[in-house]
Amino acid sequence: MFSIAMKSLRSKWRDYLVLFVGLMVSAAIFYMFSAIALNKEFLLANSTTGIIVLVFTIGEFLLGLITFVYLNFANGFLLRLRQAEYGLMSMLGAKRKQIGMMLMQETLALGIISTVIGIVAGIGLTSFSGQFLMDLLGLQLAHWTGFSFHAILVTLAFFVALFFLNGLYNSARLSRQDTLTLLTADKQVKQPKRRKILDPLFGLIGLALLIGGYAMMPNVLSLGITGFILILIINVLGTFFFVSRSLKMLTYALRGSRFNSRGLRSFLNGQLMFRLPDYQRLLTVLSVIFGLALGAMSVGQGFYRALPEQAQSSQPYTAAYTTNADVKDLKNIKWQATYHYVKGADKVVYFDGDEINAHHIPTMIYDNVPNSTPKVKWMSGDAMIQNPDTTTDTLIGLANQINGVQFDSKAVVLANAAELAEKGTVKSAELVKVADLHENETVLVKNAEREAKALGSTVQKLSGSYGFYALAKSYFGGFEFMGIFLGIGFLAMLASTLMFKVLSGVADDKRRYRILTMIGTSERQVTMTVAKDLGTLFFIPLIIGLLDVVFGLNMFKAILSDPYVGFVPSLIGILALYLAYYFLTVVIYRRLIKA
């Protein structure tokens, strides 16, 4: 029996390839996620809060849930692929037990092979994309590793267990069906039953759950982890009931309407109606994955964008250089000036008041209003001499940099250059402010490293917005990385789920579209119909996922001052990718049903 099972794997290789690639990608993504989620040293070293471990544990659980639904779906496809052949074997005298055993062997063989290859791909993907992202974001994260033995074990155990359960479930399902049902499995259609009271009721319950979930999101902090899990469950259930019931009601309302009796609308409606039992689960999963991809990306982008902005708005200048720095290579310099100083004993640094009178020096003034942006005030040297208490934070920050410390330095403004010269060797510091940190990052990094080396200090201890940025990045860079990394992972999962669903339907649709062509549908009409047909699958998750993110970002207020700052750029990026993927799918699908 084992050899027959293996032969059947070979006989329908094209269908199995679709299944296999889908399973492989899902194993690879699960590994990618596990490699981070199980790397506690990495999580703790690169985030400011211990909650991150819990967040990832929940994330892992969620991904496990999605994978479970996905595998269940994939195995249903496997069963459908094999039903007619099993029917034939049963007719030829194979026992139920033998057939069940064969299905189990096939499921496990497919599962183990795809999981192992998926893990190998996952290790490569994790290492490569991790390194690529770190380079891109200018991060160096401690304890990062693409290879994790722990993650390999967890992925393997999880997948084998799921395949085993699915195999049992499929065998049980198979043994309940008689030979004739199996033989004609291809020709049977499932039609959802219409329930005039229950459908609208469950649709409304779904909507209420969705709205309730959204309403709870801004208060997630006060609700705690239980609240977070609750929101998640409410959202998934709400999406499921709302999408499935409203689509069902819509298709029934359209059936027989005047609107439906034009062109291929009745065909499209029929397609949707008959796929609904499959679609309702799938659309829910896709909505959640779309929301997760966009959400993770927005949070990652949020940090990427918020950190430089925060740094720029809280510091009066970008960097101060006491060594020969490549200032001329910086773009869009908004302001620059040179100040002379003498480094004295006990962390005191002296400045020239005349010189400060000539240039003035910017400092930040904070209102006592929470979350308000500080304003820049230009101070003269005289003001600081008359009242030493008004010596600006700017000068103290500069003194800290010169002393190679983060705190405790003193800045003293002297009357003129002559008085300054009496204190010791006069040196100069060049202060620069640029418009954009990201734009100048390469030059700023080079200059900062040179400066830190000359002062025997570290980049994080330098004054100005770049030093602040480097410091903030060492605290929050982990979030930035994880957000974008997971965003990419979820996107890949989304693409693979969609690809799998779409390709697994080709065989059935090929026949339907051939009939349409034979009774007078033009090529153009077929292409348009394919585009609309696949459109449902792509655009419903987009709308729901988008709503999830619009409300869900509220949950990150605790760690990001403006969680929405990364939303629009992420949305544009993901939408562009998603649309490109949609058009590609339509083109491929069109070719497949024509072939």
Partner 1 sequence: MTEPVLIANKLNKTYTSAAGVDQHVLKDLSLTVPQGEFVAIMGPSGSGKSTLLNVLSTLMKPTTGEVMINNKDILHMTDDEIANFRGRDMGFIFQSYNLIESLTVSENIALPLTLQKTKPAQIKAAVQKVADLLHISEYLNKYPAELSGGQQQRVGAARALVHEPALIFGDEPTGALDSENAREMMNYLTKINDERDISIVMVTHDPFSASFASRILFLTDGQITKTLTRDDRSREDFYNYVLSELGNFE
The footprint of partner 1 (CB under 8 A) covers 187-189, 191, 255, 258, 261-267, 270-271, 273-274, 511-512, 515-525
> Nearest CA to 103 among 123, 126, 80?
80
d(CA 387, CA 405): 25
d(CA 195, CA 278): 18
SS3 category, 543: helix
- C-alpha distances (whole Å) from 163 to each of 62, 70, 473 are 18, 11, 42
Token pair recorded at residue 420: 């300054």
Strands 333-343 and 410-414, by their bridges, are unpaired
Q: Which is nearer to partner 1, 187 or 196 (CB)?
A: 187
Nearest 5°: the CA angle 482, 487, 490 is: 120
- Closest contact distance (angstroms) between CB of 255 and partner 1 is 8
Nearest 5°: the CA angle 173, 60, 141 is: 150
Instruction: Supply the DSSP string of 111-169, one letter for each residue.
Output: HHHHHHHHHHHHHHHHHHHHHHHHHHHT---TT--S--HHHHHHHHHHHHHHHHHHHHH
d(CA 595, CA 593): 6
- Closest contact distance (angstroms) between CB of 517 and partner 1 is 8
Q: Which is nearer to partner 1, 369 or 518 (CB)?
A: 518
- Closest contact distance (angstroms) between CB of 260 and partner 1 is 8
- Closest contact distance (angstroms) between CB of 584 and partner 1 is 23
Q: Which is nearer to partner 1, 140 or 522 (CB)?
A: 522
- Closest contact distance (angstroms) between CB of 243 and partner 1 is 19
Q: Which is nearer to partner 1, 262 or 328 (CB)?
A: 262
- Closest contact distance (angstroms) between CB of 543 and partner 1 is 24
Q: Which is nearer to partner 1, 176 or 262 (CB)?
A: 262
Strands 319-321 and 348-352, by their bridges, are unpaired
d(CA 171, CA 247): 32
Token pair recorded at residue 410: 């003193």
Q: Which is nearer to partner 1, 10 or 524 (CB)?
A: 524
- Closest contact distance (angstroms) between CB of 180 and partner 1 is 14
Q: Which is nearer to partner 1, 191 or 371 (CB)?
A: 191
- Closest contact distance (angstroms) between CB of 519 and partner 1 is 5
- Closest contact distance (angstroms) between CB of 593 and partner 1 is 14
Q: Which is nearer to partner 1, 201 or 515 (CB)?
A: 515
Euclidean distance between the first and the last CA atom of the chain, given in angstroms as a whole number: 34
Q: Which is nearer to partner 1, 460 or 525 (CB)?
A: 525
Cβ contact 408:298 at 8 Å: no
